[in-house]
Amino acid sequence: MKIFHLINSLDDGGAERVLANLCLNDKDNSHVVCTLLGGGKYKNKLRSKSIQLYELNIRKDILALLKIFRLVSILKKEKPDILQTWLYHSDLIGGLFGRVLNISKIVWNVRHTDISSYRMKISTKLIVRFCAILSKYIPSKIIYCSEISRKIHERIGYVQEKSFLIHNGVNITQFKPNKKKSMSNILKIGMVGRYSQYKDHKRLVEFMGKLKKNNIKFKCYLAGENIIKNNFKLLDLIKKNGVLSEIILLGSVEKIENVYKKLDIHVLLSHSESFPNVLAEAMACEIPCISSGEGEAKKILGKYGFIVDSRGQKQLIKTINKILKIKSSTSKWKKLKTNCRKHIAENFSLHKMLISYNSLWKSLSN
């Protein structure tokens, strides 16, 4: 089958990563990718594997918006068996164009949970509500990457009978432990995530300040889009909390698995998540995780991670002390790390995700 993917961009994000993994690793189907905006982090990776890629380069001015009609000629040329759209704008635009062109097999991919918060643009909220109405008429199936995302969207009108849950999958061959990592008395903490209100770097940096005041020796590695020294808001926050020498800003990193391999623990204190990929990736590298309980965090961590309240700092300090106690026992620490990877391999592997997507696509072709 030919699967045509429409997505906003190929920048560094969870949906983009899953799309790229599907296209690069699925051997049973051919894949074509089209972006509403431009390329991004995964553009060259897809092209290196000879995957057809179109970029509409739509911007906010009226003339640029006319480029959206190129999608009609592209879809006519490619004649996909299935049109799979990713994220709200692509779900709406791809869904409408696909229906006009009589593409009968359209799959939406929904990956958000926080749809009523002040952090979401009003225009996007309107699109979400409009898609809820259109969900009765346009998509054959609606894929969710988390149970909470499914429940929230069904609550506002997304058609329940079309729901299909597929958890994200981690390439455990790519994300694997660093067997050569040296032992150190300095606790190496990290967080992978773009600079965003949702990710709550403010709380994380304040937590680092508390650790320092509690005389815990550590280094903190932060990686992601706009996690750079030129981000003066972030830099001022780091200085204010007195951890300038403890926090290392890495920016966007091509091989993100190399960041995980530096760490002893990964911390994610997001306000909102659907399926936080970074937890599964870190655990696949045998890195235990602390996380707020957003989205599927509890399910990803299982019995091998630490869920903390999304507000207080005292629980975070207690959790770090608990981890340090486990880490002081070589056998207990090794067992915890091994179980982290085993849990991800058994429940959230890329192989398992590919099987689920192929199962869905085949069911639509019958």
Q: Return per-residue pLDDT of the chain as tens, 366 residues.
A: 999 999 999 987 889 989 999 999 999 999 999 999 888 888 989 999 999 999 998 876 666 667 788 899 999 999 999 999 999 999 999 999 999 999 999 999 999 887 776 667 888 889 999 999 999 999 999 999 999 999 999 999 999 999 999 999 999 999 999 887 666 789 999 999 989 888 889 999 999 999 999 999 999 999 998 999 999 999 999 999 999 999 999 998 988 999 999 999 999 998 888 899 999 999 999 999 999 988 899 999 999 999 997 566 788 899 999 999 999 999 999 999 999 999 999 999 999 999 999 999 999 987
SS3 content of the chain, % helix, strand, coil (to 5): 45, 15, 40
Quote the CA–CA distance of 6 and 90 in Å, as a whole number.
6
Distance between CA atoms of 360 and 366, rounded to whole angstroms? 10
Instruction: Mention every residue, 6+ apart, whose C-beta is less than 8 A from residue 98.
Output: 75, 83, 85, 106, 138
Contact present, 272 and 294 (Cβ < 8 Å): yes
In three-state secondary structure terms, 262 is coil
pTM above 0.85, yes or no: yes
